[in-house]
Amino acid sequence: GEDVEQSLFLSVREGDSSVINCTYTDSSSTYLYWYKQEPGAGLQLLTYIFSNMDMKQDQRLTVLLNKKDKHLSLRIADTQTGDSAIYFCAERAGGSYIPTFGRGTSLIVHP
């Protein structure tokens, strides 16, 4: 079945870059998403990438996709304390309404 895997925790120093990794198993994945969840809140869509792309950059965020290895990463440059949150990776096959979510990676940013 479909599966999306993420490590549960990542700790970084303020000002450093953060890299959050995700692997997925569904080879028919067409859309890959990154969401951010702050404490007590819903999920906020950060960025997404189509499976025919290798990279997408949006200000401090860089998404890299390795389709061969089914590996997705989110890089946050110059990480700030406000970036502390849970980050969810999700994938969805074309024509399907239902995305599959990973369990989320808790990013902790310390001074």
The footprint of other proteins (CB under 8 A) covers 8, 31, 33, 35, 40-45, 48, 88, 94-95, 97-99, 101-104
Residue 16 or 41: the one with the smaller Cβ distance to other proteins is 41
Residue 76 or 89: the one with the smaller Cβ distance to other proteins is 89
Residue 17 or 25: the one with the smaller Cβ distance to other proteins is 25
DSSP 29-95: EEEEEEEEE-TTS-EEEEEEEETT-SEEEETTEEEEEETTTTEEEEEESS--GGG-EEEEEEEEETT
Q: Closest approach of Cβ 111 to other proteins, in Å?
A: 26
